Amino acid sequence: MIPIKPISSVPLSQKKTELSAVPLDVASHFLGAGQFNFTSLPPLSLYIHFPWCVKKCPYCDFNSHEVKNSFDENLYLDAVRADLEAALPLIWGRKIYTIFIGGGTPSLMSAAGLDRLMSDVRTLLPVDGAAEITLEANPGTFETEKFRSYRDSGINRLSIGIQSFNSQHLQALGRIHNGDEARRAIDIAQQYFENFNLDLMFALPGQTLEQAKADVETAIACAPPHLSLYHLTLEPNTYFAKFPPVIPDDDLSAEMQELIQSRMLAAGYGNYEVSAYAKPGRESRHNLNYWNFGDYLGIGAGAHSKLTFPHKIVRQVRYKQPKIYMEESLRGAAVQETVEIQRHEVGFEFMLNALRLNQGFAVNLFNERTSLLLNDLEKELTVAEQKGLLSRDHQTIRPTELGRRFLNDLQTLFLRDES
């Protein structure tokens, strides 16, 4: 077995949307020859993708594109609104509990552009009054007045891509900011945002254990409500995959991870997910909705959606290339691909998400989010228990410490073929 290396992802409201809230004509349109029978729908989140960056990082495998000269902000916002309008029949009657604006580098948007985007969302969708609304931000794009305007437009949480406070490591990662700019970005965030996350990476090219510790200690000293700590992975189709740098070996990486976990726990942060640490009550509600197999509508170039209907679960993908996306969206066809999750796949998909949570999930959540009985996975659950990867009782199923270390192996036990 190969130990899990945390990867970046991608709120759980306890409220559920009753099917009676969905107009009957819309619901019946999706009955088809469905394989499921849902009595309620999961909480719904909104993801908005902004595809441009100042510079493409060599480790990044997200849908991001370098700004060569400029980008047409207004045209892109026109396309995003058209995309959202076209998607409305799929989510009639459903409230939005969290919004996440990711990228790319959404903080490249002008203050006026972000304000327009949020105005369009509120005009078209019922957004919960207590919604968590997060914007991803790059320290190299921080301007005090712009971020004050972002806050006035309704953003109430930032996710800041620090990655490291060491300028040498930042240069190796291809970041456009240095250590001083990282600290300045946090200072600005603290002025206007009570809630924010810092992204850090470890096992960086040439990084020592002491340097990894220094990054974590610096981050803790900034007292962020939430920290995401990711192991650098050499993803396929990235520059680093083609020209791999020299990175710490598995033993040193494991030492770094153990040191990070002990320091974070000592500083009062709960490790509630593979790579996520939070002060009490500051867990990412948006990400929790993903991990609890909630629903999300994704709009913008390359965005993904997962939507539940009375008798089916549908996944969608938008066109990735910004130019093609804008053209297709403005003619009402932003979705490139739509597929249904099959009955034999849904148990694995649920476990792929929910087992990332260190405290696991409530037994009844499995039925609520899949419409299947947990007994359908009895064989797999028993094998996982026998291997010491999972523990369960009548209320909760959770990965053990061994299961968290070998999470890939645990998740794979629930993968079934169509037969």
Q: Which domains does the chain have, with CATH numbers?
A: 17-289 (3.80.30.20), 343-419 (1.10.10.920)
Single-letter amino acid code for the residue at 300: G
Q: What is the dihedral of CA 241, 180, 230, 9, to 10 degrees?
A: -90
Q: How far is CA 409 from CA 178, 387, 405, in A?
A: 38, 10, 9
- What residues have CB less than 8 Å from 76, skipping those under 6 apart? 50, 322, 326
| Cα(358)–Cα(262) distance, integer angstroms | 15
**Alpha-carbon gap, residue 255 to 209, rounded angstroms:** 7
Question: What does DSSP say about strands 52-53 and 44-50: parallel, antiparallel, or unpaired?
Answer: unpaired
Q: Is the distance from CB of 413 to CB of 384 less than 8 angstroms?
A: yes
**pTM for this predicted structure:** 0.90
Closest CA to 399 of 384, 414, 379, 415: 384
List the pLDDT tens digit at each of the 419 positions of the chain. Answer: 333 333 333 332 323 333 333 343 444 344 344 689 999 999 999 999 999 999 889 888 889 998 887 899 999 999 999 999 999 999 999 999 999 999 999 999 999 999 999 999 999 999 999 999 999 999 988 888 999 999 999 999 999 999 999 999 999 999 999 999 999 999 999 999 999 999 999 999 999 999 999 999 999 999 999 999 999 999 998 989 899 999 999 999 999 999 999 999 999 999 999 999 999 999 999 999 999 999 999 999 999 999 999 999 999 999 999 999 999 999 999 999 999 999 999 999 999 999 999 999 999 999 999 999 999 999 999 999 999 999 999 999 999 999 999 999 999 999 987 65
Count of CB atoms situated within 10 Å of the CB of 411:
21
Enumerate residues 6+ apart whose C-beta is below 8 A from 329: 79, 80, 82, 83, 86, 318, 319
Euclidean distance between CA atoms 172 and 245, whole angstroms: 9
